[in-house]
């Protein structure tokens, strides 16, 4: 079933940038959004993260890629976000570093 024609992303829809942590499933990704929050009493900054299940219709993202995601209608029980674009691909970085090592 093709969801890409049915999914409408509003221009005002919330968007986030995160890193793909899992690409094991077909058309689904786990994206981790890391941030720091200040402790209310002690004032120390704590590292926190949010894990979001994202719909990737074309399977274009892979583990380690930085991606932009947008909120949409619920696609399944856990997926309410859709992949907008891949900002930085790990495969391109690895290919560049391998080429540099050879020369």
Q: What pLDDT is recorded for position 7?
A: 84
Domains of the chain: 15-102 (2.40.50.140)
Residues 6 or more apart from 93 whose CB is under 8 A from it? Answer: none
Q: For residues 73 and 79, give the distance between their C-alpha atoms in angstroms, rounded to a whole number.
A: 9
> pLDDT tens-digit profile of 60-102?
999 999 999 999 999 999 999 999 999 999 876 665 555 556 6
10 band by pLDDT with thresholds 50, 70 and 90: confident
d(CA 60, CA 58): 5
């Amino acid at each position: 079933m093709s969801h890409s024609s049915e999914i409408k992303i509003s221009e005002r829809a919330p968007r986030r940038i995160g890193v793909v942590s899992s690409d094991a499933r077909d058309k689904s990704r786990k994206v981790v959004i890391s941030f720091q929050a200040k402790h209310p009493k002690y004032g120390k900054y704590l590292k926190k993260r949010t894990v979001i299940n994202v719909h990737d219709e074309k399977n274009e993202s892979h583990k380690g890629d930085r991606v932009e995601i947008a909120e949409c209608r619920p696609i399944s029980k856990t997926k309410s976000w859709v992949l907008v674009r891949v900002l930085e691909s790990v495969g391109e970085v690895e290919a560049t570093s391998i080429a540099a090592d050879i020369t």
